[in-house]
């Protein structure tokens, strides 16, 4: 089994990813570390705590960053994920839960050090917590097993952005943090829009999940109503893309994807802020800013049919 810490901004597709990781027998979901993004940090953390209680999860919940490292905060994405982050699903008002006393970045540092080379960090929100952890304890780069990120877009099949023409939300919301994470000497695989927008949960797929998957299927169905309205009204699709669950699918079965290698950087200012770039040639350029960079992997193709079957079967 793989031990994972899932860094997340729950978030409708985040919840779909959390329940996928929780259900798969090859994954030990050690913790959910929360970050601002789809919702405020308070709402996102409350959503994580609710999932833990409702689905009897063992995962520790640690609350993370409320805002980006440098850029101005963007605010929650209410139009996509609803006011609280879970569409029009209402958590009972009386609900309370307990999170770890440490901030998420400190929890990540402590846990990675306690289990050297065993923890896979999976990040499906802005990368602020991971960047803070690297800044406070750069030595953790050598101590994680792997880092898997849902974020960015590299132009494959013409996928470039979703919040701007050239930026994907998780990278757009904290480009400086993303650049720190991609430049660190740890092995990162980036599952971007190039592959997540190639997989699709249709309305009928979600109906079937509701029918086949008990309380988990019911919950995914409930939270996805708002999301599907956004997709039908703003994107013109009868279903939704499979963003965050694709990162979990990569952890479970990397053979579902092909990847390419090359150093990755993020545009941090200006009209293309949040754009992700990968160097693919072997040329030496006049400055060595790129040549001294670690090589990371970027997802290029995905077997969507098998990914959808894996999700359904697991849930």
Positions in the binding site for ligand BDR (CB under 6 A):
11, 13-14, 38, 77, 80, 124-125, 150, 162, 168-170, 243-244
Dihedral in degrees, nearest 10, Cα atoms 136, 37, 92, 315: -90
171 close to 163: Cβ distance less than 8 angstroms: no
User: What is d(CA 182, CA 265) in angstroms, rounded to the nearest whole number?
Assistant: 7
Binding of Ca ion at residue 152 (CB under 5 A)? no
Among ligand BDR, Ca ion, none, residue 199 binds (CB under 5-8 Å by kind): none
Largest Cα–Cα separation, the chain: 61
Q: In angstroms, what is the minimal distance from the CB of 15 to Ca ion?
A: 9
Q: Which is nearer to ligand BDR, 14 or 146 (CB)?
A: 14
Q: Is 15 left (phi over 0), alpha (psi -120 to 50) or beta?
A: alpha
Segment interacting with Ca ion (CB under 5 A) among 102-110, 117-125, 129-137, 224-232:
117-125
User: Which 241-300 residues touch Ca ion, going by CB under 5 A?
Assistant: 244
Q: Give the side-chain half-sphere CA count within 13 A for 199.
A: 29
Active site residue 211: no
Q: In angstroms, what is the minimal distance from the CB of 5 to Ca ion?
A: 15
Segment interacting with Ca ion (CB under 5 A) among 9-17, 253-261, 286-294, 307-315:
9-17
Q: Which is nearer to ligand BDR, 109 or 194 (CB)?
A: 194
H/E stretch holding 112 reads helix 104-114
Per-position DSSP letters for 230-249, written without gaps between them? HIIIII--SEEE--HHHHHH
Binding of Ca ion at residue 14 (CB under 5 A)? yes
* Residues assigned a catalytic role: 243
């Amino acid at each position: 089994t793989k031990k994972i810490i899932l860094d997340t901004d729950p978030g409708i597709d985040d919840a779909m990813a959390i329940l996928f990781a929780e259900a798969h027998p090859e994954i030990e979901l050690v913790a959910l570390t929360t970050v601002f993004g789809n919702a405020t940090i308070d709402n996102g953390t409350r959503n994580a705590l609710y999932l833990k209680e409702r689905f009897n999860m063992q995962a520790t919940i640690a609350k993370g960053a409320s805002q980006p490292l440098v850029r101005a905060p963007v605010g929650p994405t209410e139009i996509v994920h609803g006011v609280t982050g879970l569409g029009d699903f209402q958590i009972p008002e009386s609900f309370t839960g307990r999170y770890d006393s440490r901030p998420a970045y400190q929890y990540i540092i402590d846990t990675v050090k306690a289990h050297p080379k065993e923890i896979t960090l999976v990040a499906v929100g802005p990368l602020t917590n991971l960047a803070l952890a690297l800044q406070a304890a750069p030595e953790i780069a050598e101590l994680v097993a792997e880092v898997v990120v849902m974020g960015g877009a590299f132009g494959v099949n013409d996928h470039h952005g979703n919040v701007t023409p050239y930026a994907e939300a998780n990278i757009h919301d904290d480009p400086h943090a993303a650049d720190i994470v991609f430049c660190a000497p740890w092995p990162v695989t980036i599952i971007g829009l190039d592959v997540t927008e190639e997989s699709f949960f249709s309305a009928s797929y979600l109906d079937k999940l509701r029918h086949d998957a008990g309380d988990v299927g019911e919950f995914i169905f409930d939270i996805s109503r708002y999301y599907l309205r956004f997709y039908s009204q703003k994107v013109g699709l009868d279903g939704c893309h499979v963003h965050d669950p694709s990162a979990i699918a990569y952890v479970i079965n990397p053979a579902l994807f092909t990847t390419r290698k090359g150093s990755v950087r993020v545009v941090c200012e200006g009209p293309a802020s949040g754009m992700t770039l990968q160097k693919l040639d072997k040329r030496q350029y006049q400055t060595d800013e790129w040549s001294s960079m670690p090589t990371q992997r970027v997802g290029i193709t995905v077997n969507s049919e098998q990914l959808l079957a894996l999700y359904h079967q697991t849930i």
